[in-house]
Amino acid sequence: MAVKTIAGVEVKVTEDGYLEDMTQWNKEIAKEIAKELNIELTDKHFEVLNYLRDRTIAKEALTIRSVGKSGIVDIKQLYELFPKGPLKFSSKIAGIPKPTSCI
């Protein structure tokens, strides 16, 4: 575990860069993490991020398929929003733990 300053806030992160404490997350932190991943966030991104956070709080397992069935985006749109790792990158930006389905 390391401490990193993101958007002016000191947060604890895993060796992969995921927030240790999802309560430290805010939109500014999300924007800065996204910038590091070369993703510019839109309202649709935030809809997905909030969905992921809600599902994590409800202790539901996250998969690309479940996000695709959320009614917010389909799988193709998820890949367009978060290229090169839709669940991995969206989870990191959402400030939630790395999903077990991600390598």
Which residues carry out catalysis? Answer: 102
Q: Where are the beta strands (DSSP E) in the chain?
A: 2-6, 9-13
Closest by CA to 7, choosing from 48, 44, 15, 26, is 26
Closest by CA to 21, choosing from 98, 85, 95, 72, is 95
**Token duo for residue 25:** 């997350």
